[in-house]
Amino acid sequence: MLSKKTKYGLKALTYLAAQKGNKPVQISEIARHENISQKFLESILLSLRKTGVLGSKKGKGGGYYLIRDPEEVLMTDVMRILEGPIAMVPCVSLNFYEKCDDCPDEVGCSVHRLMLKVRDSALDVYRNTTLADLIP
C-alpha cells in the first residue's frame, strides 16, 4: 500500500511542477489546494529538500520550489525518497539490499525470483516516468 506520505509528496511535487515560472510556493497554499494536513506536508517537503529535489526560501515571499526542471526529476528518485525501497522484499532491492535471515538459499528461493520480476517491472515504469509526465 502506498503511504500517505508518498501520495501527498507526489501531489505536492506535481503542484509545484505545474506552476508558471519557478517562484517559491508556500506550504499553506499547497496544503489547501491538495487537501493535506499542513504540518504533515511540512515534514514531507523537508525531506524532499534535504535530498536535493526541492529548494526553499525563508521569509516573506518564501516557500518551496523545484531545483530542477520537471523533465529531469525521475520517479525512481522520488519514490525512493518518499516510499523507500521499490522492491517488495529487501533481498531483491538495489538500493536497500538486505539478506533474509530466514532463508538460506537466495537463488533457490521462489519468493526471491518472483519479487525480482515484480521489481524489474516497477523499475521500468519509474525509470521512464518523470515529474513532467504527471502534470495534468
Residues that bind DNA (CB under 7 A): 3-5, 8, 24, 26-28, 37, 39-40, 42-43, 45-46, 49-50, 56-64
Footprint of a second copy on residues 25-54 (CB under 8 A)? 34-36
Give the 3-state secondary structure of residue 57. strand
| In contact, 37 and 31? CB cutoff 8 Å | yes
Residue 42 binding target from a second copy, DNA, none, CB below 5 to 8 Å by type: DNA
Q: In this complex, which beta carbon is closest to a second copy, that of residue 67 or of residue 114?
A: 114
**Where are the extended beta strands (E) located within 22-135?**
54-57, 63-66
Kindly state the smallest distance separating residue 10's Cβ from a second copy, in Å: 5
> Measuring CA to CA, how many Å separate 119 from each of 6, 29, 31, 65, 116?
18, 35, 32, 31, 5
All three cell numbers of 83: 516510499
Rounded Cα distance between 30 and 15, Å, is: 7
| Interacting partner of 53 out of DNA, a second copy, none (Cβ under 5 to 8 A depending on kind) | none
Q: Which residues bind a second copy (CB under 8 A)?
A: 1-2, 7, 10-11, 14, 34-36, 75, 85, 88-89, 102-103, 108-111, 113-115, 117-118, 121-122, 124-126, 129, 134-136
